[in-house]
Structure 1
């Protein structure tokens, strides 16, 4: 299935379907008994905001069905700026500065497409987008208990960097520890 997927920016009229895919992701995460995404976030408002900024991407199968989503964000990620850890690339914190990385957030696969390579195809596309934009790396974080995502990131070649503590969550999560990951996408990084 992965070879028959088209990864493209989401359109405004697809916000509800993107939110449904994220709900599938929430149910998958809940199976691990962790709080991540279990208190309302991500929601339709975060989806609409990602679409409005051109950050929301979807995987569309050969039948035109949306089967995966992720947010690919440029600019300085405030959470990653605050994390005083040894990233693989520079970690600028000036608001008007440029980040040498893109960040993946809010990624999920539709329940009916699990195990079909959807997220692998989406991450491959995200890496190409990062290279095309001149980024040196992609960053992402996940809950320490999200074994499926941690295994997936290792398989995709991401380096586990260090635990970080999130500070700005808009929901009721109390366990804000995440594991930060980064993957170089060019040969120009330090």
Structure 2
């Protein structure tokens, strides 16, 4: 059965669902023994700020929110300083705060999300996608590798060093 999967901007009405999904993700990271997202970020203010700024996106499966992410155009101050080198200096989409509802866990949702993000990037005429993750976020590291993202070096973000990746889209 083919589900209808869509990426759309998050609305303020989505806030509580998004926050619930993020809380599940924060707890999963904690259970995995990760330090990522364990210092009170992201929080409900982060979600409200994302939505207000137009950064918040949800991927829906048959209308139900399965994944939350923040997509930010050309603006991640932490990325201006990298221990290493980005592939490009053009316009880029930054992917932050990827979280999957546990109802949809293990279904390849993040891979599908990146397909949609790459489509969004291409349709907006933007050159590349940049993303960072924790050293210990093995699931995300595997996905980025599988999707053809290039490891570019390290950036300092949210109080720690993160692995940074880029993929040229156009």
* TM bracket (short chain): over 0.9
Residue 59 of structure 1 corresponds to 59
Q: TM-score, normalized by length of structure 1?
A: 0.83
Aligned counterpart for 1:180 among listed residues 143, 164, 168: 164
Aligned counterpart for 2:91 among listed residues 90, 100, 110: 100
Choose between structure 1 and 2 for higher RCO, CA contacts under 8 A separated by at least 6 residues: 1
> Does 155-164 or 135-144 show the bigger shift?
155-164
Gaps of 5+ in 1: 91-98
Q: TM-score, normalized by length of structure 2?
A: 0.92
Residue 89 of structure 1 corresponds to 88
SS at match of 1:70: strand
1:81/1:68 CA distance change after superposition, 3 Å: same
User: Which structure dedicates a bigger proportion of its chain to strand?
Assistant: 2
Aligned counterpart for 1:160 among listed residues 151, 159, 163: 151
Kindly provide the CA deviation profile for residues 120-159 of structure 1, in whole angstroms up to 9, marking residues without a partner as x: 2211111111112221110010110111110111111111
SS at match of 1:124: helix
Aligned residues: 170
SS at match of 2:51: helix
- Alpha-carbon offset, residue 3 of structure 1: 4.8
